[in-house]
Chains A and B, each alone.
Chain A
């Protein structure tokens, strides 16, 4: 993100600068909360708690990561804390993350990549993508959201989630293949349906 903030001003209690920080990161953080938790109220809690925590702990920010990575780290912790509380059975450590791509071998081999964007992004196409992201296991979803939706680097994602870069790469690959498989299943079935309708 191109925005730069004056840490000096923030530490000095410059409220205009803090408001600018909030406006810059409130949408990505709200989005992260919404996609991790699936409802608007929890997403709002993540958003508010993230900035309240940031305000309280700003003096502890050591600059080892960027300010944005630090904010994402707080937001991810908030979201994961809510998941732990609401769904204690979820495996957030992802014990299988160190496995290789075996088991994620693509089974759907229809090429839908040339479909026009308006078809992929509107109505049913958009819903299928949203549903596929919701179906991602949480430990993969958070990596995918930070890396591919919000555009953090592998290193920043690792810093935000306190994971190794290798672990981030493994989870990212699994997440991408999982989503690809789900979308391909949908478009494969749709192509068959359309071809049958044409033949009727």
Chain B
């Protein structure tokens, strides 16, 4: 790995979050994509970082408030009259 490529990897790492979030200018994205095309390690880091973020969005990872906790909350707030049905 040459020093030049190493610098590009470090630059990509610094911009990784914003690249994933689509928050970079088209010019910067183009530069990053050019680097990605020739750097397998950076492609792996990008793919696995994206996947990590995706995983937390699945319903399996989005716990909802348990019914008994909701009930105690409503009672504490004197909102007993609105306990049922659960509004959406």
Contact = CB atoms under 8 A, between A and B. Distances in A.
A10 to B, nearest CB: 13
B61 A47 contact: no
A181 to B, nearest CB: 9
B17 A176 contact: yes
B26 interface: no
Contact of A113 (B16, B48, B56, B79): B48
A180 B48 contact: yes
A22 interface: yes
B5 interface: no
A22 B73 contact: yes
Contacts of A149: 56-57, 61-62
A88 to B, nearest CB: 27
Dominant secondary structure of chain A at its interface with chain B: helix
Dominant secondary structure of chain B at its interface with chain A: helix
Interface residues of A, number: 50
A121 B17 CA distance: 23
Contacts of B56: 129, 133, 148-149
Interface string B48-65: 111111011110111111
Given A19-B82, A121-B58, A177 B77 contact: no
Given A18-B79, A31-B63, 7 more contacts: A55-B77, A113-B47, A148-B56, A149-B56, A149-B61, A154-B21, A176-B49
Interface of B: 10, 13-14, 16-18, 20-21, 23, 41, 43-45, 47-53, 55-58, 60-65, 69-70, 72-74, 76-77, 79, 81-82, 86-88
9 cross-chain pairs, A with B, having the tightest CB-CB distances, nearest first: A19-B82, A113-B47, A113-B51, A173-B17, A30-B65, A27-B64, A111-B44, A121-B60, A26-B65
